[in-house]
Structure 1
Amino acid sequence: MSSTNINIIDDNEILSEKLGFQLEEIVLQLMNKKQLITIGLSGGSLIDLLASNLPRLQLPWARLRFFFVDERFVPFTSDDSTYASYQAKLFRKLPLTEKNVIKIDPDATSVEQCAQDYENKLLETLTEDDKSFDILLLGMGPDGHTASLFPDHPGLKVDQGIVTSIKDSPKPPPERVTLTLTTINQAKYKIVVATGESKSTIVREVLQDKSTKYPIGQVKDLIWYLDKAAGSKL
């Protein structure tokens, strides 16, 4: 267990700052190697953490392409829309245009069509020969799920394409699109943020016991950001 990849931070404001600075450091390194930098976003508590610090960072905004690690197949007017939450809390604070954010088509005729359309959009953005993303910011649920990949769910085993559709998510809403586990593992940098005591047992099992029974435990080379409660059993 490499301590350099595990950050336990008591104060959420400091956690937000350290996460932002790590993101800034990675982006500045990548700037020297490529023109466009892809950053995958997750929902939940990560939105507020990024919204409190990202607007203060000196990033090459025009060269960034934000997209979503997973998204609910709902209208953008829905409270369940991750894009809508980012738009309200973060994107409007940043010097971004429409081309900076890659999002699903909520008007697709089915979740399967939505997933295919989203994959096509992402493939148009990827310039790497290996079609890998640069940075993924992941969350983790109390059940150990990440993105919309849930324990013992068939979606976890999909390894074709970079995106898959979920029709029966154990957590509502049921229809979602998500990056596949293979796609997540191929990303250059994978950062997971977990907060709250309800995550502490799985955090311990994954980091100390090396358990792979949870989706988050099947993601390789993670950089962890934990609050004191989530890291309390380490």
Structure 2
Amino acid sequence: ARCAPSFIRASRIAHRTSRASVFMGVSLTTTTRVAAATTTTTRVATTRRLRTMVVRRAGGDADGAVVAPGTRTVVDDASKTMGALVRARSAEAIASRGVFSIALAGGSLVKALASVKDYADVDFTKWRVFWVDERCVPHDDDESNYGGAMKALFNDVNVPKSQLYAIDETLCETNAGAAAGCAKAYEDALKALTPDVIGVNDQGLPVFDLLLLGFGPDGHICSLFPDHELLSVTEGWILPITDSPKPPPERITFSLPVVNAAREKVFVASGEGKAEMTAIILEHAPLDGSIPAALVTGDVTWIIDQAGASRLKK
């Protein structure tokens, strides 16, 4: 049994939904823009709107170089570049705080993350690993983000099992409608780790060192979908969703304020299938909730391969 704890035409997104949610709140409208910086990257700054200049990198020794936080870089090998970034951020966090807190999305992103295994100097024993969203299914289910990450990376590295913070799969043995219980249990587990493992900001939100975010063809992030009421929720760290437009319908997800509170958010856009939405997010950035990825603020780092950058303006 399963329960839940994951173009717009010329100017609008075609996929819109109207769904009910038990959560209400004030919409979040802060966004980012990208201001030109050096000859190889563009620096992201908080402002009214996301605007960027595209700087392409030819690849070669650029791939695998460490990308600065809040920048956008186009490379030949996004996986290699992401591995180098995660290695660097891990070392910085461990040197500063003795621990590295990282939260992951599912899908192809964790397969790209597997390149971090190439580095022998990564201290995986200091990692604390979380998931930005999860389907409430057993860990061995093909739909499990935790299960996918274990197969792609964590079965092969020495992160202690106790430091992999998966949902309690026993809560998924109940009938449909247990999303709220899954979300509460996960939020309680996170709160028990503050402030030593996960920092807390002045607003009382958890501050993860790094979020690795995917985005769907509709621009959704985590399990925050276009035009969904959960986008405006300002209370709570972990939210239940019972009407996901993608199966399974019941899941848990980080709230948008929790996403934005992280020290750094990394998007990886790899392949032609990501090209159209990448261009929409970076060059149009609608702020009406039709594309949740456009609402991510702060230090937002983009790693884009050549195919993923093919729709960006020259």
TM-score range, shorter chain: over 0.9
- 1:8 is aligned to 74
State whether structure 2 residue 260 is matched by structure 1 residue 185: yes
Query: What's the CA shift for 1:187?
Result: 0.2
- The percent identity for this pair of structures is 36
Q: For the residues of structure 1 that align with 2:86 and 2:155, how far apart are their CA atoms? A: 19
Question: Which of 83, 91, 106 is the matching residue for 1:43?
Answer: 106
Q: For the residues of structure 1 that align with 2:79 and 2:272, how far apart are their CA atoms? A: 18
Alpha-carbon displacement from aligned partner over 1:181-223 (angstroms, at most 9, x marks no partner):
0000000010011223233232222212233341000001310
State whether structure 2 residue 268 is matched by structure 1 residue 219: no
With CA pairs under 8 Å and 6+ residues apart, which has the higher RCO, 1 or 2?
2
On the 8 A contact 1:126/1:133 being kept in 2, the answer is no
| Equivalent residue letter for 1:56 | D
Query: What's the CA shift for 1:6?
Result: 1.4
- 1:23 is aligned to 86
Question: Which of 308, 311, 314 is the matching residue for 1:230?
Answer: 308
Question: Which of 164, 183, 193 is the matching residue for 1:125?
Answer: 193
Alignment of 1:141-160 (within 5 A): 141-160=216-235
| Equivalent residue letter for 1:195 | S
Residue 207 of structure 2 aligns to a residue whose secondary structure is: coil
Structure 1 pair 20/228, CA: closer, same or farther in 2 (3 Å)? same
Q: For the residues of structure 2 that align with 1:199 and 1:61, how far apart are their CA atoms? A: 30
Query: What's the CA shift for 1:151?
Result: 0.4
TM-score (norm 2): 0.70
State whether structure 2 residue 130 is matched by structure 1 residue 67: yes
Q: In terms of mean alpha carbon deviation, does 107-116 or 198-207 score higher?
A: 198-207
Q: For the residues of structure 1 that align with 2:285 and 2:230, how far apart are their CA atoms? A: 22
Q: Point out the structure with max Rg over C-alpha.
A: 2
Q: For the residues of structure 2 that align with 1:87 and 1:205, how far apart are their CA atoms? A: 32
TM-score (norm 1): 0.92
On the 8 A contact 1:192/1:222 being kept in 2, the answer is yes
- 2:118 is aligned to 56
Shift >6 Å, 4+ stretches: none
- 2:151 is aligned to 88
Q: CA RMSD in A?
A: 1.5
On the 8 A contact 2:107/2:148 being kept in 1, the answer is no
On the 8 A contact 1:126/1:132 being kept in 2, the answer is no
Residue 125 of structure 1 aligns to a residue whose secondary structure is: coil
Q: For the residues of structure 2 that align with 1:199 and 1:96, how far apart are their CA atoms? A: 31
Structure 1 unmatched runs, 5+ = none
Q: For the residues of structure 2 that align with 1:155 and 1:64, how far apart are their CA atoms? A: 29
| Equivalent residue letter for 2:192 | E
State whether structure 2 residue 240 is matched by structure 1 residue 161: no
